[in-house]
Structure 1
């Protein structure tokens, strides 16, 4: 799936790819660069939404709080499963994600992490993955406002989920184990980014975008130290680490 993201550049870099945000006076958002955030900590993250025809850069919490979770106890138990959504479920009328498919967002990132199983090895090997030709990229997402107010502010927080799809060749070899093996985030090409946000996008248009698979040769990747151990949030998180006797992908 996609539980670990990086956004290691300034928030202003989003405006280079979506200059309309700058034109709409979106320059005052504060967001500190981060080399690693884990989904199940429900961090606040920048997302781009289309609000009545206007693109807006917002800070939402990672992890949708669906309206069928009625109590804090239900949220604590079930929210961890709402940080990702399978793209195959977005148009499935029996799935919750279909109900909020009109609430589409872009989730900017500079990279993400995934783990590879090696036969005979005790621990999985972590990889950092980014795009070769872009400093940042956008993952397709869905969002919803929580129906339960923040107990401190009384506000209804915005929440989002990251869409995943079947992995391409490289990612299927990296993300090769566990219950959700063979998945990767739905990274969009430039031509689909703003289209994903169009309010009038039909279900057929949604399906076309959901079927997009980023080619393997557009990805750069290398092995890193574990991101499951606490460490300073700096560039050391994504430094290349060599593992002795690691089989080639």
Structure 2
């Protein structure tokens, strides 16, 4: 599961995406929820493509399928198991046509620790870049008066770093794989299966952080600082 993220600096993402498309990017991001401890049901920055052009925009975190009868949290899904996206009705259409990347500076997971009443939070970030690219899907729900774009983060089995902490982790893609994942003309999803795997261990850094991040109302840099022993 991936249920809390750190998105405090989007500028490196914007610069890299614009270089990737040689400036051919539509930037719709009006992103007022920048912070170190962002929960579901808020907006996330989403990178996707249309007509070969890169798009950066904000979307609601918690996918609501286009076929849902109403805009309701009972349909809202913050995570989707990578093993299921090709066959589950909530995801299959988006997996074919509406794949996206969600750039984050880092994310959190919680570890059960014997003798502790609360779980120990851990923070994960990239060793090499100021952000990670999480694989996601998006969809657009609408009625006569409203249009809502929403997204979900794909999860997979844990790598060796994650195994002692949690039994799932987000699918993290390398920048060089972005083009294949985002290609809207590619609907043979069997060609994407090799991307839906645990991240290489040498991609990530991780450390325990203070339980203050358990509350999404605490949204400041100390959430991601290493826990003092």
- Fold-level similarity (TM above 0.5): yes
Structure 2: where are the runs of 5+ without partners? none
Q: Pairwise CA RMSD of aligned residues? A: 2.0
Q: Which structure shows the higher strand fraction?
A: 2
- Is the 8 Å Cα contact of residues 85 and 162 (structure 1) preserved in structure 2? yes
- Give the TM-score taking structure 2 as reference length: 0.89
Map of 1:168 onto structure 2: 159
Structure 1 residue corresponding to 2:170, chosen from 181, 185, 209 = 185
Map of 1:76 onto structure 2: 73
Structure 1: where are the runs of 5+ without partners? 176-181, 244-249
Offset at 1:21? 5.5
Secondary structure at the aligned position of 1:171 is classed as: coil
- Give the TM-score taking structure 1 as reference length: 0.82
Cα 1:157–1:78 shift into 2, 3 Å: closer
Distance 1:112 1:166 in 2: 16
Map of 1:14 onto structure 2: 13
Map of 1:208 onto structure 2: 194
Offset at 1:184? 0.2
Structure 2 residue corresponding to 1:121, chosen from 78, 91, 116 = 116
Structure 2 residue corresponding to 1:140, chosen from 135, 151, 166 = 135
Q: Which structure shows the higher helix fraction?
A: 1
- Is the 8 Å Cα contact of residues 5 and 35 (structure 1) preserved in structure 2? yes
Map of 1:223 onto structure 2: 208
Distance 1:130 1:65 in 2: 28
Larger Rg computed on CA atoms: 1
Offset at 1:96? 2.2
CA offsets, 1:184-239, max 9 Å, x none? Answer: 000001221121001232222121222x3211222111111222225442211112
CA offsets, 1:52-91, max 9 Å, x none? Answer: 221111111111112453235xx23342xx1100001122
Distance 2:49 2:25 in 1: 14
- How many residues matched? 224
